[in-house]
Amino acid sequence: MLPNRLLTCLLSAALIAGCASERSLSSADDPLDSTHVAVARGDGNFKEAVIKDQVHASQDDPLDDAIAPELKAQARTARSKLNTANIEQPATLADNAFENGTKTENTDLWQRLRDGFALDHEVDQPRLEQQLAWFASHPRYIERVMERGGRYFHYIVSETERRGLPTELALLPIVESAFDPFAYSHGRAAGLWQFVPATGKYFGLTQSWWHDDRRDVIAATDAALTYLERLSKRFDGDFTLALAAYNSGGGTVSSAIRRNQNADKPTDFWSLKLPRETRHYVPKLLALAKIFADPQAYGIDLPALANEPYFAVVETGSQLDLAKAAELAATDIDEMYLLNPSFNRWATNPDGPHRLLVPVASAERFRKALKTYPVNQRVSWQNYRVRSGDSLSTIAQRFETTAPVIRKLNKLNGDTIRIGQRLMIPSATGDSETYALSAAQRLEQKQSRPRDGDKVSYHVRSGDTFWDIAREHRVKVRELAAWNSMAPGDPLIPGKKLVIWSQNAETTVASSGSSASARIKALVRKIGYSVRKGDSLAAIAGRFSVNISDIAGWNDLNTEHYLQPGQSLVLYVDIRNSP
């Protein structure tokens, strides 16, 4: 059986993650050899919202904690537009639109998509029929997910064509993220294509205080298609195996193939024993393609999508405030952020690339406005005089930036500053409402939304973990993270305020000095456990009075895989309940 992530980390020289999952590899290995199953955001929440006829699907889904608080609020506002707006199709293909070298006579993007289909949708498999039946019985899902994807779909189809790839791959963001550019999973996967940090880095997707390329529409699409191309070559052009590997890792699929070869069994995707998520992942994409190939056969009307670019790429030449960019382009900031979801702050990355995506109709106006707009006014600066008691960290906190940014911009060699020294601090041209649309009110509204339990404000202390806090308040780790727009793997910064809907009747107020927290933390111990013959996750969970999901989370385990004797686990147990 495959080793778990904890054991692999002890043996590996480095950690490289596969798409949508932290995947353990040695420094000499390629993500194509990954053996960990993907944990993408997926479309589960979106499906549920469609079934319940909820308009604002995924508006409260977690966001990457690297995004500044004011832009988190903006992302939620943009998401509501993503979920409700009908895409305005460009009337004509403007000369300044994004060009990819592909020309077609089709005026209908759907027909162009069908013309590039190359996978077998007619395979007779129950798993495919199951997915097909769900989509056919929920036609509203197709309509709404393509409302979301309309901004990006022409570009993605064009890129698959340019590379000579099956255009079914253009539908993969539906499966990965339901076309939510802000999608963020508990496995720290981000963006339309759900890359985790390490795999993103391997494919050139950089992250900084200012931005995250995993959410960049152009950069992430390029990385995902490159990844899929390499996987297809690994499996001799079989894209069902390549897709399975995108989800569960090339090493997982290769191991399954070897097992079947040794047992003299077929080695096609449908014959392999793969993780449960992967077994449904490929059929889901094929079912979508089958519906898009002949929507009338399933009683589905596809929304109109013109075969023309929705956005154009405009070179800005330098860093630019996003609110100012929206003003110059005469478009609203929601639209600017939906097309440029990679930015963590109020401005573009000072290190580039210096480009923004804008609606085609706004591109020429934006270019002309940029030519006459002074470079020194594109970002505002505060000329700050250092005072007694200041440090780079306190100054950074005051101006909502970071010490490394101040060091870099002022060419400082270290953290030493002197009273009276002048520092240039970047700042937004507008107030927080310009970017966040009343961020404080929006946050208050979200935190005040009635839920089960008692609302508690908690200030993070040094040494706190999501598990400690969740256990104290008798809630799930993932719930606690989601209420605060975080993922369970995100770091908890001392002093950060969390909102908790506590199920612990004894706890009514929690703070940095919470005696309840101190009392419970004092009774919890981190222990190492070596798996014995006959052990299972259920048996270990019962022995130590913890949840199976907690054990899986602490050790990044796939509950579909068996434990191996001698395997090392980390457990956090309450000594009052331990054996």
Q: What CA–CA distance (Å, rounded) separates 68 from 107?
A: 41
Q: Which residue is listed with tokens 């569960």? A: 248
Catalytic residue, chosen from 22, 159, 168, 176, is: 176
Return the amino acid letter for 58. S
What is the secondary structure of 243-303 as a DSSP string?
A: HHHHHH-HHHHHHHHHHHHHTT---SGGGS---HHHHHHHHHHHHHHHHHH-GGGGT-PPP
Q: 315 with 120: CB under 8 angstroms? A: no
What DSSP string runs through 213-248?
GGG-HHHHHHHHHHHHHHHHHHTTT-HHHHHHHHHH
| Structural contact between residues 420 and 386, judged by C-beta atoms closer than 8 angstroms | yes
Distances (CA, A) of 49 to 138, 301, 487: 11, 20, 21
Concerning whether 176 is annotated as a catalytic residue, the answer is yes
- And the tokens for 136? 């056919």
Phi and psi torsions of 424, nearest 5°: -95, 120
Q: Locate 206 and state its tokens.
A: 């950089």
Q: How far apart are CA 75 and CA 340, in angstroms?
A: 11
CA dihedral 415, 420, 421, 427 (to 10 degrees): 90
Classified as helix, coil or strand, 296 is helix
Check residue 207 and report its DSSP letter: B
Residues in Cβ contact with 379 at an 8 Å cutoff, skipping those fewer than 6 apart: 319, 320, 321, 347, 350, 426, 429
Q: Which residues pair with 426 in a beta bridge?
A: 381
Measured CA to CA, the distance from residue 381 to residue 409 in angstroms comes to 11
- Give me the half-sphere count of Cα atoms (radius 13 Å) on the Cβ side of residue 230: 13
Task: Show the tokens assigned to 209.
Answer: 């205080």
Inter-CA distances, 136 with 143, 288, 300, 423, Å = 12, 10, 7, 61
- Give helix then strand counts, H and E, for the chain: 24, 8
* Residues labelled catalytic: 176
